[in-house]
Amino acid sequence: MDMKIRPRRLRTGAHLRKMVRETRMDKSSLIYPMFIKEGTGIEEEIPTMPGQYRYSVDRMPFALEKLMNAGVGSVMFFGIPEHKDTCGSGAYAEDGIVQKAFREAKQQFPELYCIGDVCMCEYTSHGHCGILKGEYVNNDKTLDYLARIALSQVQAGADMVAPSDMMDGRVGAIRNLLDVNGYQETPIMSYAVKYASAFYGPFRDAAGSAPAFGDRKSYQMDYHNSREAMKEALLDVEEGADIIMVKPAMTYLDIIAGVKERIQLPTAAYSVSGEYAMIKAAASLGYVDEAAIICETAVSAYRAGVDLYLTYFAPEIAGFMDEGRIG
């Protein structure tokens, strides 16, 4: 056959395939989400997220050490408080659960990069991400609280804050309060493009943050929309966001690619609890090969354009990179 162009030529051996890879990954891009719970001696497995745990602050350092040994140097903390109220006061309390976690983590591991999820749903008695007026989340009133939460996390040692509430104007409100308190250098990673998704189900189980009534569709995005994603991202850029996140990841690769192309900031994606749970469940039944699925899923996010990847599989992915299986 007279065929000059043969795509298979570049696939003839492992060495060559690796040489011509289009997607490169690095462990420094991985962020591991963790649940920290009020109490002592707690290390309880989350039923809907096998292999993931809720840790009390005293047990947390062992988990962090393991994580760092795997080569993952960034974490995101979610707090599970003992008491909840209508305005989520545990979220900005000086001795709140997540504030205690930041203090302990930074004291024991100063080089660990600690990120705070800024939201209210784990701390409010009604489980919504803001202050209610009737059954509607009052946007502007919520902004003051979110800014306070972010400031308290930074004062406790957070290196970066990541608002996940989806209120309008929250990046600007947080930036403002951090700046007037002297934290001009603390970056904001905005969950700018966060869809109202069933993939958060296991997380809400893990954090006890399911809304007591209704849903989050009046603040999180409708998954039919992609132009709106750019509108959200651009607004957050204007308000001073440093990193733009898309969430979930697996079923939103088109959105990740769009943000990457159009927004001149690092792009992050959060592979959420439901993505983790589905892979774990299918693998435990023997329906799919767990390691292979983790690798393929992670690479798909990087191929779509992520610079930062938040995932419960962070230590496993770091291991597969070490083995040269991906990356």
The residues of the shown chain that bind ligand PBG, judged by CB under 6 A, are 117, 119, 121, 129, 164, 200, 203-204, 272-273
Active-site residue, selected from the candidate residues 37, 194, 260, 280: 194
* Burial (CB count <10 Å: 0-12, 13-18, 19+), residue 290: middle
CB atoms within 10 A of CB 194: 26
Minimum CB–partner distance for residue 9 and ligand PBG (Å): 42
Nearer to ligand PBG, 89 or 327 (CB): 89
Q: How many angstroms separate the most distant Cα atoms in the chain? A: 75
Nearer to ligand PBG, 75 or 121 (CB): 121
Q: What is the Cα–Cα distance from 173 to 18, expressed in whole angstroms?
A: 45
Residue nearest to ligand PBG (CB): 203
Kindly give the residue spans of alpha helices, DSSP state H, lying in the chain: 14-19, 60-69, 97-108, 139-155, 170-180, 201-207, 227-239, 253-262, 273-284, 290-304, 314-322
**Nearer to ligand PBG among residue 59 and residue 194 (C-beta):** 194
Tokens of 178: 């951090």
CB of 110 to ligand PBG, least distance (A): 26
Alpha-carbon span 75 to 312, nearest angstrom: 10
Catalytic, 194? Answer: yes
Measured from the CB atom, is 267 or 311 closer to ligand PBG? 311
Active-site residue flag, 18: no
Give least dist CB 143 to ligand PBG, A.
15
* Shortest distance in whole angstroms from residue 294 CB to ligand PBG: 15
Catalytic residues: 194, 247
